[in-house]
Amino acid sequence: MERYILSVLVEDKPGVMQRVSGLFRRRNFNIDSITVGHSEKKGVSRITLTVAGDRKILEQVMKQLNKLIEVVKVSELSEKESVVRELALVKVRTKNESVRSELISYANIFRGRIVDVSKNSMIIEITGDSEKIDAFIDLVKIYGILELARTGITAMIRGAKREVKK
């Protein structure tokens, strides 16, 4: 199964997220992640979705999304041509000083930030593509991850190019 990233512009109206997520459930499509926030246009929000499946499924997903009245535009973002980012907050157990310093050095290597420190734990904020975040999590899990929060992917096409409607 491939992973595809879709950028969906929707009218900022109550229930629009339910329409989009409900569509995926009803049509038996899989969402890996979904993020939403305001776009550059007033009254229009941008939903970024990652979808698992093949080309045929993707085509149906895009067509079905386009049928929703409050969906203004659906575009596929290729990972090559796009900036793809996810943010994660990772709370790691720090049982002693050496763990703490190891974590700080890892955070630096990954260009993460320490955003909270307590006696027994530390929260690291890390941004990047999903693979980078996976790698970081993999690295620190031996210390014990107490909590993990990932935002899901948001993405944007590179350069002056605008998304093309499909």
Partner 1 sequence: MLISGAKALVKALEREKVEVIFGIPGGATIPFYDELYDSSIRHILVRHEQVAAHAADGYARASGNIGVCCATSGPGATNLTTGIANAYMDSVPIVALTGQVPTAMIGKDAFQEADTVGITMPITKHNFQLRSVEEIPTVIKMAFKIAKTGRPGPVLIDIPKDVQEREGEVTFPKDVVIPGYKPTIKGNINQIKRAAKLIVNAERPIIMAGGGVILSNASQELKTLAEMFFIPVVTTLMGKGCFPETHPLALGCIGMHGRKVANYAINDSDLIIAVGCRFSDRSTGAVSLFAPEAKIIHIDIDPAEIGKNVRADLPIVGDAKSVLTDLISCLKGIRKEKTEWAKKVEKFKKEFAPFMDYDQVPMHPARVMKEITKVLSSDDIITTEVGQCQMWASHFLPREKPRTFLSSGGLGTMGFGFPAALGAKVAKPETNVIDIAGDGSFLMVCQDLATAVEEKIPVVVAVLDNRYLGMVRQWQELFFDRRYSSTFLGEIPDFVKLAEAFDARGIRVTKPEEVAPAVKEGFESDKVTVLDIIVDKEANILPMVPPGRGLKEIIE
Q: Which residues pair with 30 in a beta bridge?
A: 52
Span interacting with partner 1, options 70-78, 87-95, 96-104, 146-154, rule CB under 8 A: 70-78
CB of 70 to partner 1, least distance (A): 6
* C-alpha 77, offset from chain centre: 13
**68 sits near partner 1 (criterion: CB under 8 A):** yes
Question: How many CB atoms sit inside 10 A of residue 152's CB?
Answer: 17
Among 1, 2, 54, 59, binds partner 1 (CB under 8 A): 59
CA atoms within 13 A on the CB side of 159: 4
Binding mask 107-126 for partner 1 (x = CB under 8 A): --------------------
* 8 Å CB contact between 83 and 163: no
Cα distance between residue 70 and residue 62, in whole Å? 14
CB of 163 to partner 1, least distance (A): 15
Taking CA atoms, 78 is separated from 64, 157, 163, in Å, by 20, 8, 11
CB of 40 to partner 1, least distance (A): 15
Q: Would you tell me which residues interact with partner 1 (CB under 8 A)? A: 10-11, 14-15, 18-19, 22-23, 26, 56, 59-60, 63-64, 66-73
